[in-house]
């Protein structure tokens, strides 16, 4: 069935997921905006595999995983493969998160939890502080 461009059904699953990510990030940004000015956020469908040998499968450092599949990853700032400086970024993996969530509200809660953990790692503080347990300094 075709939907008009103005209807909610017109948006793809990935676009709706992107909206959920931004909604989950909003309260964190309101609280920690200035501390997150140099942090980017990205959404990928699935994580990239560093090595292909099954016994040497590696997801890299700083990965939040559920049953061995990363849900998100904090990529520190540094230099990209082309020698250009790169900013720190949180990469959210859409398909593993969707597979783990039981529905829309569960996915929104899970996204918030994952973002809190990743921002806490970036800021080098406890997740409770990110989520309201402690104040921005």
By C-alpha distance, which of 23, 27, 35 is closest to 136?
Answer: 35
Mean pLDDT over 76-85 rounds to 88
Q: Name the fold adopted by 35-45+60-131.
A: Zincin-like (3.30.2010)
Tokens of 137: 């300094």
pTM: 0.78
90 neighbors 118 (Cβ within 8 angstroms): yes
Segments of 53-123 assigned E as strands: 63-66, 69-75, 78-79, 85-86, 88-93
User: Which range is least confidently modeled, 3-7, 75-79, 130-134?
Assistant: 3-7
Confidence tier at 125 by pLDDT (50, 70, 90): very high
pLDDT for 31: 93
pLDDT for 92: 96
46-58: pLDDT as tens digits:
988 665 555 554 4
Is pLDDT above 90 for 131? no
What residue ranges do the domains of the chain occupy?
Answer: 35-45+60-131
pLDDT for 80: 82
Total length of the chain: 137
């Amino acid at each position: 069935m075709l939907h008009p461009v103005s209807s909610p059904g017109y948006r793809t699953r990935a676009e709706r997921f992107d909206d959920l990510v931004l909604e989950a990030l909003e309260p964190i940004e309101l609280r920690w905006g200035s501390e997150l000015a140099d942090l980017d956020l990205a959404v990928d469908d699935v994580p990239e595999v560093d090595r292909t040998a099954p016994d040497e499968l590696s997801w890299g450092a700083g990965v939040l995983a559920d049953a061995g599949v990363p849900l998100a990853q904090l990529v520190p700032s540094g230099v990209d493969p082309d020698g250009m400086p790169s900013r720190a970024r949180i990469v959210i993996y859409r398909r593993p998160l969707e597979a783990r969530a039981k529905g829309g509200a569960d996915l929104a809660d899970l996204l918030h939890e994952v973002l809190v953990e990743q921002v806490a790692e970036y800021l080098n503080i406890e997740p409770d502080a990110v989520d309201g347990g402690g104040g921005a300094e």
